[in-house]
Amino acid sequence: MRVPGGRWTIAVVGLTLIGAVIRLAAGGESLFADELSTYWIVSEHGPRGVLSTVHSDAEITPPLYFVLAWLTTQLGHAPELVRAPSLVAGIASIPVAYILGLRTIGRRGALIAAGIVTFSPFMIYYSAEARAYALMMLLVMLSTLTMLLAVDSGRTRWWVAYAVSSCLAVYSHYTCVFALAAQLLWLLWAHPDARKPAIVANLGALAGFLPWTTGLIGDLTSPTSEILSALSPFTLFDIRQVLEHWAIGYPYTWVARLTELPGWPGLVLLAASLVLAASGIAASAWRDRPRTRVRRIDRRLVLVALLFASVPLGEAVVSAVGDNIFGVRNLAGSWPALALLLAALLSAAGRRLGIVAGALAVASFGLGAAKLVNDQYRRPDYQAAARYIDQHARRGDAIIDITAVLSPGPLSPLDAALRRPHRIFRAGAPEERRSPFGYEDRPVPLAEALPHAIAAAPGGRIFYVATVFPQQIAGLEERTKRMQDPFPPRYDIVDTKRYPGIAATAVIVYADRG
């Protein structure tokens, strides 16, 4: 017996398997930046401690991801386990995007959207990060999907599922409220008969979030928000950069220009897909002009457009009147809608042109995904540096760790990657190791850390480990010579290792001739 849509289902399963392989490969990279906060919270605390720590100024995000990560890390503290909630959510987002597409833009557009989600550098990166962005995107899609199922079926269970998924989405990340508000406004407009259950469902979601109200107030008034706002200006130039990298580029604006990732071939393919789509739509409109009528607005397409615009516009308004929250990762709540809206445009070109345009767009994103495996676009390889130290550092040696400059504390990337105990002296960041860095914590200067390391390793070697940003790599040798100046004259550089990534990791070994 022939199964309707069987080939489409097989295609989605294939895309999901490909997406899983890509995401699992990225999930094995070293923990980086804010992931270290997640790792410290879930590895150093029990369930109650996780909640209380996230409720404090140590974090300005809700607790759902941390609770899930604590559960997965009970099997161990490997990066893959800390990232497990994101990995599962990122993989599940592929078939869920397809199913949501079936309910909004049609089967052909749904398959194109699933392909875009599979290969999007943005989706891949955050599907392999120990933060809540991939989880939030999945929950927003589930909230939208269950809302549509509730409207179509009228069944109470789908209204309950809509309320639960909406509540969980806010527990994952606050910025999804803009998308959830857009959902509700669309629902009240498009389905007046469903207004009562819609309001009841949203009141239920709000009631479920009330226990975290004090945490929300603390996060909104946290000094961290003001500091992050000051570090990220809200200007027209920054808005353009953020939108470009959110849509098709690398999630960090400082890592690669669009001409580098996805690169010129990817940009040309994407432009060609849009030209083909526009040509197909124009040709269709020209053929139908004798009997053209004013068509009713496709309400489901309006929903997709609202979800796409809601988060960027909402964050832009908040940033214009208060602290700047307009950043690449904070726009994650609208990314699935971006894929659906682009797929709807491409599929509107017609059966043949739509397939070709969709294939070109998916190929464009695929070129960007392929570049993510290159060393220059991977997270800094602290694991390789830690393996080198674990293998070569002896009992009488000491380590100077300058990798904590990108960590919110108290762990440095090297702390999380080392598997053996060592005598470690931190420099360039506060020495605090029991609680997250405070704003008044004093960074330890190298000139202060070095004498302690020398005293702890009389006659031994000192392993100097630092994060080197791309603009600094060209002058690494000169900087290495300058770094030797604080060392007593009897110390020589006996080995230097550099491990690539979006920021390189340098290990310089000094030995005492005496």
- The predicted structure's pLDDT at residue 29: 93
At 479 the pLDDT is 55
Report pLDDT for 490: 85
Nearest to 90 by CA among 129, 140, 134, 130: 134
Q: Is 314 left (phi over 0), alpha (psi -120 to 50) or beta?
A: alpha
Q: Whole-angstrom Cα distance, residue 343 to residue 101?
A: 9
Question: What pLDDT score does 433 carry?
Answer: 80
Phi then psi for 58, rounded to 5 degrees? -65, -25
Pairing of strands 461-468, 491-499: unpaired
Tokens read off for 262:
């996805």
What was the pLDDT predicted at 207?
A: 97
Stretches where the chain sits below pLDDT 70 are 1-5, 224-231, 288-297, 471-485, 514
pLDDT at position 176: 96
d(CA 391, CA 385): 10
Task: Find the helix or strand (DSSP H, E) in which 464 lies.
Answer: strand 461-468
pLDDT of residue 366: 97
- 3-state SS of the chain: helix, strand, coil percent to 5? 65, 5, 25
pLDDT at 434 (0 to 100): 79
Helices (H), 221-263: 223-231, 236-247
3-state DSSP assignment of residue 273: helix
Burial 425-457 (b: 16+ CB within 10 A, else e): bbbbbbbbeeebbeeeeeebebeebbeebbebb
For residue 1, what pLDDT is reported?
33
Asked whether the whole model's pTM tops 0.75, one would answer: yes
Domain spans in the chain, listed from the N-terminal domain onward: 6-377, 382-512
**pLDDT tens for each residue of 178-223:** 999 999 999 999 999 999 999 999 999 999 999 999 999 988 877 7
Sequence-distant (≥ 6) Cβ neighbours of residue 30 within 8 angstroms: 79, 379, 380, 381, 382, 383, 413, 416, 417, 501
